Structure 1
Amino acid sequence: MVDVTRKEDRRIQRTRELLRRGFIEVIREKGFDSMNIQDIADRANVNRGTFYLHYNDKYMLLDEIVRDTFKKMLRDAVPHQPRWERGTLRLIVLTVLNCFEEKYRHRQPSSRIPSALLENAIRDELTFYLACLIGSESSDSSKESHAKAHIVGWAIFGAATQWSREIITMSAEQMADVICSVIVTAGYNNEL
């Protein structure tokens, strides 16, 4: 019975991966607004009903793809068991900057992907990651740790978004140093 469950899990994973790949191919060709569920299902070589077994709509699929991509970027950039310190903060900031630079390339967002959805997913994942990191090393209550994560997350997110949409005036490394110095100066230096 255990083997059957594993096979089902693999089939689910494989189907989701096919849908994700189909989504990415179609969005590159048509853009988000012009694509529909049938386009994604056709590209993934599954029927439309199969799509709805896994996702409510294309927005849910986009959200999952963005979140998973961002989480992978964080996993690749930050040590396996990070500590809440300035070096870790800098790696997190650089990850966010690189993510937005990849998306916007120092120009206004493309209409091919709804930037608000993309940004909300990244901001939520960033805040969650920071809350876990800050909470694991803080003696603060969970409410205080969560509030700090939101504040630090918005500082990083806002600065990275603005930087990625402007004509480049400083490198990602320089911008990361500026963001980190602002966060540390703002009162988190007792932990960083």
Structure 2
Amino acid sequence: MSHRKGGLQGERTCKLIRRALIELVEEKGFAEVTVGEIAARAPVNRATFYRYYRDKYALVEEIFQDVVSELSAGLGPTGQVATRERIVGWERLFEHVGRHHRLYAALLGRRGDPWFAARLRERCVELARDRLRTVQDAIPGAGRDAESDDLQLVLAANMILGAITWWLEHHRPRSAHDMAEAVVRFATQGYFDALGIGTAQPG
């Protein structure tokens, strides 16, 4: 959680407000939630809510920033690493989502906030672009096609968010490790091979 004035009491209040938001989004959807309802559920008075947040969108923005910070810290090494190391990095990602599953399920689900999903997708693209640049810089003579890179990164970001959303909507039926293996297999083998149908042959 972002540092806020008020010490431990302020941190506790922000946790209560976040928890109230998640519960209300689960119950009625983000669009229908009001500041008054968040304050009542926390429970704090409206003046206390506004001491920390301008509105419910500012609350989601702070949650987003904290999520991005934790995601960035746990992604693991960049570059041409072994498959096992890639799986470890992705496992950390799914473990992170699992620790905060109610938050992610509430804000990424059907009743969630489209802004949060869009910003998280954008951030996934930004992180992937930074990591790709690191790899390309380490390979002598590696060419770059910015337009092609952007398309690939958007496809990758949609795959990541799709995998996370499926995992949450189905109540995490597979372990974080199994999800990591599936993502790495799909990313390295490609669509047809990952599905076990092989590359289409010319007719």
Structure 2 length-normalised TM: 0.59
Q: How many residues align?
A: 168
The 3 A distance-change label for structure 1 pair 104 and 34 is closer
CA distance in 1 between counterparts of 2:49 and 2:174 reads: 48
Structure 1 residue 87: Cα displacement: 4.7
Counterpart contact for 1:22–1:44, Cα < 8 Å:
no
In the alignment, structure 1 segments of 5+ residues that lack a partner are 1-11, 188-192
Residue number among 82, 96, 107 corresponding to 2:78 in the alignment: 82
Residue 169 of structure 1 deviates from its aligned partner by: 4.2
Report if aligned partners of 1:135, 1:142 keep a CA contact under 8 Å in 2. no
Aligned residue runs from structure 1 range 7-156, under 5 A: 14-15=4-5, 20-21=14-15, 23-27=17-21, 30-31=24-25, 33-36=32-35, 39=39, 48=50, 51-52=53-54, 57-75=55-73, 77-79=74-76, 82-85=78-81, 86-87=83-84, 89-101=86-98, 102-104=100-102, 109=106, 114=112, 116-138=114-136, 139=142, 140-156=144-160
Report deviation, 1:83: 2.6
Q: Is contact 2:53–2:59 with CA below 8 Å preserved after alignment? A: no
Secondary structure of the residue aligned to 1:150 is helix
What is the match of residue 159 of structure 1? 163
**Counterpart Cα distance in 2 of 1:47 and 1:168:** 33
Paired with 1:26 and 1:178, the residues of 2 have a C-alpha distance of 34
Shift of 1:151: 1.9
CA, structure 1 residues 22+152, in 2 after alignment: closer, same or farther (shift >3 Å)? same
How high is the TM-score relative to the length of structure 1? 0.62
CA-CA distance at 1:133 after TM superposition = 0.3
Consecutive unaligned residues of structure 2, counting only runs of 5 or more, are 137-141, 192-203
Q: How far does residue 129 in structure 1 lie from its aligned partner after superposition?
A: 0.9
Q: Distance in 1 between matches of 2:174 and 2:50?
A: 46
- In structure 1, distance between residues paired with 2:45 and 2:69: 26
Query: How many Å apart are 1:185 and its aligned residue?
Result: 1.2
Note the alpha carbon deviations across 1:154-186, whole angstroms, 9 max, x for none: 222212211221155432211211110111112
Give CA-to-partner distance per residue, 1:93-121, whole Å, 9 cap, x none.
Answer: 3244334444259xx7588x725444333
Rounded Cα–Cα distance in structure 1 between residues aligned with 2:170 and 2:49: 42
The root-mean-square deviation of aligned C-alpha atoms, in Å, is: 4.1
Aligned counterparts of 1:44 and 1:91: Cα–Cα separation in 2: 43
